[in-house]
């Protein structure tokens, strides 16, 4: 059983096999040189110290070789995206054929919907969770409108029950049972950004496919946080950003998954560019379009190497550690955090994230009674970096790569004094 003492937290850090990783990150500091208590890896992950070296290598090769760097650089730029594929596939539980790093998240979702949202006059609706991240809502609304459908009638929301914050899978099942003949696509956030709830992706796929609906997953808050096992889940497609738990830097490139059952279907409608053309004949500029198999077949343009270098720096750390070890620490770290918060004698706050570690990642969402944002402001003034989301939630993510048990203990001690 956990103990609410500093000595206990420090003992947990001594026993932590991943504690050494913290020293491999730049931790922001206050004016006195003390580390911030940084709990916003769910918005922007911290910078690995080796990132600068990886980017500098590409800058040096650009200076040295110019355009010949595409072939002569230490890490040739022509196939650079391929250097990321195996590691990224392991993180999301996919085959290398099913994964590519490209573009940004919402761009990828739109490109995927070109292929997998094929509405008819009677089967055109799209299901999202009612509190989906705004960009997902805007994306599906614009897709409905683009295809000539009313966004009010075409958008179906999977909502929590009255008086509850979390989604129930049986409610989604009911929606699809009743409206499945009119639903073309389910586009669901695998980990909800607001509550931190990790949804049963495989079950969602089964529910959608039972009514001949396509199923896509937004893993913005899942990749590098939970183990979604995308291939085994059977979902048709997924997309995710890399700047949160994958620590690739602000606005960095995103990832895309297309299940191998679609990977060789050249008849799928898609937008085209020269980078999803057969790489063997790509530079013979007068060849008709010949799409590549797998997820690479959704690329459009040659990738930005400097962004990919930052992603590679982070993925090499994930390759060394493995998602299994990260998940094990995440469950223990978040469990300790939850325990300490529940020890606070107050009715002003409560955790709305599922208590079951298998139903959440490393984020805990703390609901504040009467939506008192001043508490979040006070945390920031004490160099505790969390994230406020309207109307009444402070999101806190102790990331197993760089947060410690002592971080969690000190954060809760300050929170108690503020309350």
Q: Which of 240, 273, 302 is the last residue of a domain?
A: 302
- Is the model's pLDDT at 371 over the cut of 90? no
Based on the fold, state whether residues 98 and 227 are members of the same structural domain: yes
Q: Answer yes or no: is 340 within a domain.
A: yes
Looking at the domain assignment, is residue 237 inside a domain?
Answer: yes
pLDDT of 174 > 90? The answer is: yes
Which of 180-189, 283-292, 372-381 has maximum average pLDDT? 180-189
Q: Is residue 314 part of a domain?
A: no
How does pLDDT run across 122-161, given as a tens digit for each residue?
A: 999 999 999 999 999 999 999 999 999 999 999 999 999 9
Assess if residue 311 is contained within a domain.
Answer: no
Would you say residue 407 has pLDDT above 90? yes
Task: Give the model's pLDDT for residue 274.
Answer: 86
Residues 285 and 327 in one domain: no
Do 186 and 326 lie in one domain? The reply is no
Same domain, 290 and 349: no
With a cut of 80, say whether residue 300 has pLDDT above it.
yes
Q: Identify the sign of the CA torsion 76, 79, 81, 85.
A: negative
Contact 26/247 with Cβ under 8 angstroms?
no
Q: Is residue 218 part of a domain?
A: yes
In a domain, 191, yes or no: yes
Mean local confidence (pLDDT), 92-99:
98
Please say if the pLDDT value at position 285 is more than 90: no
Domain range enclosing 374: 6-46+322-418
Closest CA to 363 of 394, 317, 409: 394
* Residue 60 reports pLDDT greater than 90: yes
Q: Are residues 187 and 279 in the same domain?
A: yes
Report the CATH number that the domain containing residue 30 is assigned in CATH.
3.90.1150.10
Average pLDDT of the residues of the chain: 96
What's the pLDDT at 369?
A: 86
Residues 351 and 281 in one domain: no
Task: Tell me the percentage of the chain whose pLDDT exceeds 70.
Answer: 100
Does 329 share its domain with 268? no
Q: How many domains does the chain have?
A: 2
Residue 57 lies in a domain: no
Using CA atoms, how far apart are residues 401 and 235, in angstroms rounded to an integer? 28
For the beta sheet containing 393-396, the strands, ordered from the edge strand earlier in sequence to the opposite edge, are: 349-351, 364-368, 393-396, 387-389
Q: What is the CATH number of the domain that holds 164?
A: 3.40.640.10
Residue where a domain terminates, one of 243, 271, 302: 302
- 170's enclosing H/E stretch is helix 169-179
Residues 96 and 132 in one domain: yes
Work out the angle at residue 405's Cα, subtended by the Cα atoms of residues 401 and 409, and round it to the nearest 5 degrees. Answer: 135
Mean pLDDT of 175-191: 98
The crossing angle, in degrees rounded to 10, of helices 405-418 and 323-342 is 20
In this structure, are 39 and 108 located in the same domain?
no
Asked whether the predicted pLDDT for residue 305 surpasses 80, the reply is yes
Please check the confidence at residue 290 and state whether its pLDDT lies above 90.
no
Q: Is the pTM of this model over 0.75?
A: yes
Note whether residue 345 is domain-resident.
yes
Tell me the two tokens of residue 162. 């009255």
Q: Which two tokens stand for residue 202?
A: 């495989």
Task: Specify the pLDDT at position 370.
Answer: 81
pLDDT (average), residues 304-318: 98
Is the same domain home to 277 and 170? yes
Domain boundary among 244, 271, 302: 302
Q: Mark whether 34 and 96 lie in a shared domain.
A: no
- DSSP-based three-state secondary structure for 27: coil
Of 1 and 248, the structure prediction assigns the larger pLDDT to 248
Question: Same structural domain for residues 88 and 221?
Answer: yes
| Nearest-10 crossing angle of helices 305-321, 51-65 | 140
């Amino acid at each position: 059983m956990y103990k609410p003492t500093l000595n206990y937290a420090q003992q947990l850090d001594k026993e932590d096999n991943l504690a050494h990783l913290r020293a491999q990150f730049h931790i922001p500091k206050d004016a006195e040189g003390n580390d911030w208590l940084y709990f916003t890896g769910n918005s922007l992950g911290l910078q690995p110290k080796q990132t600068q070296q990886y980017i500098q290598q590409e800058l040096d090769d650009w200076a040295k070789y110019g355009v010949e760097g595409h072939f002569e650089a230490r890490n040739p730029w022509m196939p650079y995206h391929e250097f990321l594929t195996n590691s990224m596939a392991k993180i999301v539980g996919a085959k290398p054929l099913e994964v590519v790093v490209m573009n940004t998240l919402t761009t990828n979702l739109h490109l995927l919907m070109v292929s997998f949202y094929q509405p008819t006059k009677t089967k055109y609706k799209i299901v999202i969770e009612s509190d989906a991240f705004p960009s997902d809502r805007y994306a599906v609304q614009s897709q409905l409108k683009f295809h000539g459908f009313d966004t009010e009638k075409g958008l179906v929301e999977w909502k929590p029950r009255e008086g509850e914050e979390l989604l129930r899978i049986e409610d989604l099942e009911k929606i699809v049972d009743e409206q499945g003949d009119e639903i073309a696509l389910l586009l669901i956030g695998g980990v909800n950004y607001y509550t931190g709830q990790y949804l049963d992706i495989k079950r969602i796929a089964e529910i959608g496919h039972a009514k001949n609906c396509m199923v896509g997953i937004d893993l913005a808050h899942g990749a590098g946080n939970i183990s979604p096992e995308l291939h085994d889940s059977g979902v048709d497609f997924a997309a995710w950003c890399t700047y949160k738990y994958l620590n690739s830097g602000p606005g960095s490139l995103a990832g895309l998954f297309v299940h191998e059952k679609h990977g060789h279907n050249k008849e799928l409608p898609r937008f085209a560019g020269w980078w999803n053309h057969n790489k063997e004949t790509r530079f013979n500029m007068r060849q008709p379009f010949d799409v590549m198999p797998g997820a690479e077949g959704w690329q459009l343009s040659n990738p930005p190497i400097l962004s990919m270098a930052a992603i590679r720096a982070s993925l090499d750390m994930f390759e060394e550690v493995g998602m299994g070890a990260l998940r094990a620490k995440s469950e223990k770290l978040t469990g300790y955090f939850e325990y300490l918060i529940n020890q606070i004698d107050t009715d002003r706050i409560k955790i709305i994230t599922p208590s079951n570690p298998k139903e959440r990642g490393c984020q805990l969402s703390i609901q504040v009674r009467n939506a008192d944002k001043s508490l979040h402001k006070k945390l920031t003034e004490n160099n505790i970096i969390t994230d406020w989301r309207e109307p009444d939630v402070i999101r806190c993510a102790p990331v197993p790569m760089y947060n410690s048990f002592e971080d969690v203990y000190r954060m809760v001690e300050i929170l108690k004094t503020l309350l």
